[in-house]
Structure 1
Amino acid sequence: MGVLLVLLGALAALLAPAAFAHESTPTGVQRIELDLGARELALTITAPPEGGGRMPVVVLPRGDAPPGEVVLAAVRPGGEPANAVPVPVAPVGQPHEVALTTDGPGAWEITVADGTTTARVPVTVAAPVPTPGWVWAVRIGALVGVVALVAALAPSVRRRPRLALGLGAVALVGITIAATAVATAPSSTPTPPAPTPAAAPIIAPPAGGHAGHGGAAPAPTPMTTATMTSGSVVATASTTSPPTAGAPTDLALDLTDSSTGAVVDDLAIHDDALIHLAVMGPDGSLDHVHPVRTAPGHYVVRLTPGTAGRYGVFAEMERAGDGGHQVARTAFDVPGPAPAPAAPAPGPGVREVGGMQVDVAVPEAVAGRPTTVSATFGAGGGQVTDLQRWLGMAGHLMVLGPGLGGTPDPMDPASAFGHVHDMSAPGPAGTYGPRISFEHTFARAGRYQLWVQVQRDWRIVTVPVTVDVTPAPASAP
């Protein structure tokens, strides 16, 4: 019996690593930022590990979201929400978790509705992963070996030596098969990738309404329309009514393929959003927002223009597969008397923004050379060390370069746009500060408009900075 226990213990030890290392399937966690109407929401979606089931979703309200609730549901693409779950969106910074249910693998959408707009977040639920052949060899070999060994050691069999030897040989063969399968198994079975947004195929738009959105009413006739192209994507921006300074207006983006004209609905989440939209106003303001997908290839975001004039729009996106990072640009106009030219933002140095003293340093900005842009935050005579992660990182730097006139102009194609990140690790408390920094190479000399962005107390703080970049010294003959 002692020999049997030793063999069983060894067999259990042999099988344990295989069960742990090769058969566990981690769940995929997907984070996405949504600007839904007047609310800024951060969703954390945990897809079922395989085959469907319970799908927890955490909703975190940020910014100055008004009190109330949104309604969530899990549906197949284009489906109507059923068994929707209301979720409170107050107070700001307080997460709320709900459990949705999916009944099988494949493409799903998480709908988030505020009573006016319904966002549709694509999610993929992984299919069950088939058990590798070597695992079956281990299981069958181990089962045969253990059963034969137990039988061979039974008192009635031990009195029959030839039968006991035969069963012992069978046990040896079974255990040898199991051990050989483990020894020759791959060192690690490739882990299925975490679920990403369902990369729906490019589909032709139907007449009236948006593709894949059965029963949807035709879109209202846009009052202002502009088109922008970037790589393989054509984005058409429109508003459903003339925008007015100081009043909210909905800006819509419709994405089509530049080669085929078909609807593009294969955007991948990058930096916690499907689209990062930078809207630059004639007063030097910046809105960094994240439109919600309401139908295949159709995105909507609410903006409140601060003044009349022309607004530059930059849309950052990534297509699934090898589509790569793309930036499309366009503009829209807000009617009204033309405002006086905005004064440039302060240059490097100390200024007060969002209840903090911010010291921006740009030691030397020379065209064509890597430059460090840093911002150090303080408040109440001390250092600020409670900056919060936003879009997966400590901070963001938006850059708009000089146009043909030598100053930043979002409407001038020569005025280059850039988006830089601070990827430093958080401190022990999971927060950042007092200093964040960015590395950027200014392509050419001239005046640049920069915006440093961080999150504190669940609100975004934007620090505008003007930087004059000098030409690179002429090389010696």
Structure 2
Amino acid sequence: MKDGDIGMNGRMQFVLVLLLAGMSFFAGYGFGKQENVPKADQETAGKQQEAHGHGNDRGSAVSMTTDAVWSAENAKAGENATLRIHIQDEEGKPVENFDINHEKLLHLIVVSKDLSYFDHIHPEYKGGGDFEITTSFPAGGEYKLIADYVPAGGSTTTQTEWIKVEGTSVDAVPLQPDRHHSKIVDGLQVTLQNDHPRAGQDFELNFLLEDANTKEPVTDLEPYLGAVGHVVILSEDTEDYLHVHPVDEKAKGPEARFVTNFPNKGIYKIWAQFQRDGKLITVPFVVEVE
């Protein structure tokens, strides 16, 4: 072998050693590879603070499309009826796991077509995406069922269904805005202090609570589903639905404040729910959104 060949080989070997050393250096500092972030930190970074109202999804939660298959057995006025809700994904497979949302896996709102009847109930989870509850309806006619739930790791989801209840119907109650926004229900006087919302703007629903007999401020409200109260809102045509949670969930009165945003002009019915002395108190208001 010639001396020139030996020199050439030596230089090539030296360059190769430098290249290998450089690659090892950069690899040690993560060059070209994904950073190893603990799973808990990824989940924390992937979520934003939950807003005070339904419709504002839980930050950047995993996108998941689900559907509800409804069943209403023996839906006849004045008799027990079994409502079943089956939650499935886009491929028709059962959604097995759900996140707890205000102490429940699923909230079910039931309203009559004229909004004169309202109920907020919580079906039992049977597994395999199936929820079930036994309830009754006061009269025959059409009722809208509204289910709120959160698929595990997903966003707050709302599914609705109209059902027909057999039996004697009653005359529809016209929905008219209240002239006075102070109501007495079960010994509790509730006043909606600001009652002139505008469409498309954040609006604070501020409720003042007093004892109806003594007129003293109420400061002993009990947590209802983990909060001082809950508010459900529906437009007159039932198309706009809002489920609103309080600004200060740990408040006990005499004020309970909620922030929401009415999407359209028109007449809306508001149901404010509070708990006192172990009794759930539902107070309705009707407002006109300008």
TM-score grouping bracket, smaller chain normalisation: 0.7 to 0.9
Q: In structure 2, which of residues 103, 114, 119 is the aligned counterpart of residue 287 of structure 1?
A: 119
**1:446 equivalenced with 2:277 (yes/no):** no
Shift, 1:246, TM fit? 2.0
Check conservation: 2:247, 2:259, Cα contact below 8 A.
Answer: no
Paired with 1:325 and 1:290, the residues of 2 have a C-alpha distance of: 16
5 Å matches for 1:264-283?
Answer: 264-282=95-113
Paired with 1:284 and 1:308, the residues of 2 have a C-alpha distance of: 13
What secondary structure sits across from 2:94 in the alignment? coil
**1:423 equivalenced with 2:247 (yes/no):** yes
**Normalised by the size of structure 1, how large is the TM-score?**
0.45
Shift, 1:269, TM fit? 1.1
Q: In structure 1, which of residues 397, 409, 415 is the aligned counterpart of residue 237 of structure 2?
A: 409
Post-superposition CA distance 1:374-394 (Å, at most 9, x none): 221211221211111112211
Q: 1:393 to 1:425 in 2, by over 3 A?
A: closer
Aligned equivalent of 2:24? none
Aligned equivalent of 1:361? 193
**Normalised by the size of structure 2, how large is the TM-score?**
0.73
Which structure is higher in RCO with an 8 Å CA cutoff and minimum separation 6? Answer: 2
- For structure 2, the residue ranges without an aligned partner over 5 or more in a row are 1-39, 44-62
Q: 1:455 to 1:399 in 2, by over 3 A?
A: same
5 Å matches for 1:42-441?
Answer: 232-241=65-74, 243-257=75-89, 259-282=90-113, 284-321=116-153, 323-344=154-175, 347=178, 348-379=180-211, 380-381=213-214, 382-401=216-235, 408-410=236-238, 415-424=239-248, 426=250, 432-441=252-261
Paired with 2:187 and 2:80, the residues of 1 have a C-alpha distance of: 26
Check conservation: 1:236, 1:253, Cα contact below 8 A.
Answer: yes
Paired with 1:452 and 1:287, the residues of 2 have a C-alpha distance of: 12
What secondary structure sits across from 1:422 in the alignment? coil
Post-superposition CA distance 1:118-155 (Å, at most 9, x none): xxxxxxxxxxxxxxxxxxxxxxxxxxxxxxxxxxxxxx
Post-superposition CA distance 1:52-101 (Å, at most 9, x none): xxxxxxxxxxxxxxxxxxxxxxxxxxxxxxxxxxxxxxxxxxxxxxxxxx
Paired with 1:345 and 1:256, the residues of 2 have a C-alpha distance of: 38
Equivalences, count: 228
Paired with 2:196 and 2:189, the residues of 1 have a C-alpha distance of: 22
Check conservation: 1:363, 1:372, Cα contact below 8 A.
Answer: no
Aligned structure 1 segments of 4 or more residues deviating by more than 4 angstroms: none
Check conservation: 1:364, 1:371, Cα contact below 8 A.
Answer: no
Paired with 1:425 and 1:396, the residues of 2 have a C-alpha distance of: 9
- For structure 1, the residue ranges without an aligned partner over 5 or more in a row are 1-189, 194-229, 402-407, 471-477
